Structure 1
Amino acid sequence: MKVEKFLKLSLIILISLLILGYVIAQGGRGKARIAGVVLDEEGNPIKSAKIVVQYLKNEQIKLEATINKKGEWSILGLGTGMWKVTASAEGYIPTYVDIYVRQLGKNPKITLTLKKTKSSDKAIIQDEPSFNLLEKANQLFTEKQYDDAIALLEQFLEQNPHAYQASLSIGDCYQEKGELDKAIEEYNSVLEQAKIDDLIGKEIAAKALAGIGECYLKKEDLETAQNYFKQSIDSYPENEILAYNVGEIYFSNQKIDEAIHYFELSIQIKSDWGPPYLKLGYAYLNKANYEKAGIYLNKFLEIDPESPEALTAKNVIDYLEKIKN
């Protein structure tokens, strides 16, 4: 009887994950609204600013907002999930924030403050051709055309040698190609240049450290990987998304206990964010700890009942309840 229940549970989990993949693929569109304001350092509105929002699970999904005289903007039609909101304006340093958008309730107002550029801000890219190169490279990466993406990124760096952040993307390309030593070399070059970047160096360095950690995980050098992941989190401890992403890396490599640690860390940083609860539910399903799986999946539904993944989570919970009886 236990064997039969286990087989049934395995089947429902497999079906659920297939459904989840389909739902995610359909994501990005919905009825959610976000709004905010763009200000300068003195608190004055920047009416010439440009707002672009980008869905992080499919970066080809982009929307733009119009800003009024008060620097205010709003966008309607967003799906549940992580979005990047970027503000830019001529004469100012672009800035962005990653936010989690919900369908139910009011999403918090977003205030983006732009700093004026200085002559020393050589790494700030504002010309249209350079942006187009980066956008095309990103599209090629999404399409898994890594060699072509690398070529465009290298062309971009030739034209903008101070924009070292592009090397992070080159490292990502090499990692996806399986050329792990080349990827590590790129990430290390990013780390060196991030040391002298007071603007975004801290965040870029954290991403590079996580990239190196992922390479060593793929090399099956778990101890070295864990060391780099720890450095990544320690260097940017206030970022729940970074901790979550490290958990995702471990989860995709079937390192379930390690994944659980980082998903829990993400919750410690931001307890009202749904995705790590969902992944903890799936992690405990993998460990056959169905009680804890149910607890975390229920918590996920409590926080984000309108998420595209909510139906799948509910189906798993319902099945877990049935096999208990």
Structure 2
Amino acid sequence: MPVSRPIAPILLAAAVAVVLVQPMFAQNSARIFGVVSDHEGNPVEDATILLEFQGGITRSFETTSNDEGEYIQMGLASGPYIVTVTAEGIGALRYSVRVSAGEEFELDAQVLAPGQVDRTGLSAEEIAELDAREATAGAFAGGLEAARGGNYDEAAQLLTEAIESTPDCGECLRNLGIVEYQRGNHDEAEQALLRATEIAPDDAAAFDTLAAVYNAQRRFDDAGEASAEASRIRGGATGGGGDAGAVFNQGLAAWNAGRTDEARGHFEQTLELDPSHGEANYWLGMASLNAGQIAEAVTYWQTYVEREPDGRFAAQASGLIAQLAP
């Protein structure tokens, strides 16, 4: 009788976030680390790991794996990243992750090229499962590539294909939710993100995006609950704790609900947790303007434009500076 053999996974099911224990990184930066392996689980040396920041500023980092397949990238600002792991002669994988200030994020990657697994002796069911995984991997990588290039229609189509191949791909659903949010399809984004959180209840990034969707829908209580859940998953307190992203989202929820003083407190706390956060400065500028503190508002906007010259509010902030600066 043929011996059944395990099929190596193509997509990483979940990345594990743990609390950083070294004080020198606890306040200002995050790190991503992990192990790169091949389809048999052997370490891959000299794999290239490219980390591209997606927070409005063009910023990228690159590192390589050692002879144990291990890699680490330190000094990361909080926010979303596209991580591309490339093993020459084997293949490549892409992941969408989000890190917070002072966070360690473990991202192990098992790189597998289509057709690399020996199918000899596999049952029809195992071959069908392998075909589905390979189809999912190809569509998922293509979807992320399209999204990175701003081709959101193509990205949505490819990610939908990935989900059709593997309906329980939480990473696919989360990224589809992000893409639909970018397309302005908030109902579709919510549906995808809720499915993602059902499959992976500890996916803090999915709850972060869900909070943004709810803010766009002016469902501010729901946005606050989603942000609080993201914070809880990352180990923070219910009210936002040490998670700058969750605190910032709660600030947006308070601002949109007209609670400007509460919002200002959240934005100030965001900068305490993550001094490199850009957009918190924009909203502190708006809060200062609302309070009649023009000079303070201009200073906040100048900081925002300096940190995120291509940010989504950069043009508006620059216009306000030109109009109000002494």
Q: TM-score, normalised by structure 2?
A: 0.52
Greater helix percent: which structure? Answer: 1
Q: Deviations over 1:150-176 (max 9, x none)?
A: 221121123334421211122233334
Q: Deviations over 1:53-103 (max 9, x none)?
A: 21314699866544455878899xxx999673748579xx998876799xx
Partner of 1:151: 157
Contact 1:54 1:85 survives alignment (8 Å) = yes
Supply the distance in 2 between the matched residues of 1:185 and 1:308 (Cα, whole angstroms): 31
Cα 1:269–1:285, aligned 2, differ >3 Å: closer, same or farther? closer
Partner of 2:293: 289
Residue 84 (structure 1) aligned with residue 88 (structure 2): no
Q: Offset of 1:255 from its aligned partner?
A: 6.2
Q: Please report the RMSD computed on the Cα atoms of aligned residues, expressed in angstroms.
A: 5.5
Cα 1:255–1:167, aligned 2, differ >3 Å: closer, same or farther? farther
For 1:282, give the aligned amino acid. G
SS in 2 for 1:165: helix
The 5-angstrom pairing of residues 126-165 of structure 1 reads 130-141=136-147, 145-165=151-171
Residue 278 (structure 1) aligned with residue 281 (structure 2): yes
Residue 266 (structure 1) aligned with residue 264 (structure 2): no
Contact 2:250 2:266 survives alignment (8 Å) = yes
Q: Offset of 1:235 from its aligned partner?
A: 3.5
Q: Offset of 1:232 from its aligned partner?
A: 3.2
Partner of 2:193: 187
Partner of 1:47: 45
Supply the distance in 2 between the matched residues of 1:187 and 1:194 (Cα, whole angstroms): 10
Cα 1:293–1:269, aligned 2, differ >3 Å: closer, same or farther? same
SS in 1 for 2:51: strand
**Which runs of no fewer than 5 residues in structure 2 stay unpaired?**
1-30, 37-42, 112-132, 237-241
Contact 1:146 1:177 survives alignment (8 Å) = yes
For 2:223, give the aligned amino acid. A
Supply the distance in 2 between the matched residues of 1:37 and 1:65 (Cα, whole angstroms): 10
The 5-angstrom pairing of residues 27-176 of structure 1 reads 47-57=45-55, 64-67=62-65, 69=67, 84=81, 86=83, 114=108, 130-141=136-147, 145-176=151-182
Supply the distance in 2 between the matched residues of 1:72 and 1:176 (Cα, whole angstroms): 34
What number of residue pairs does the alignment pair up? 253
Q: Deviations over 1:201-228 (max 9, x none)?
A: x2x2x33333333333333333333333
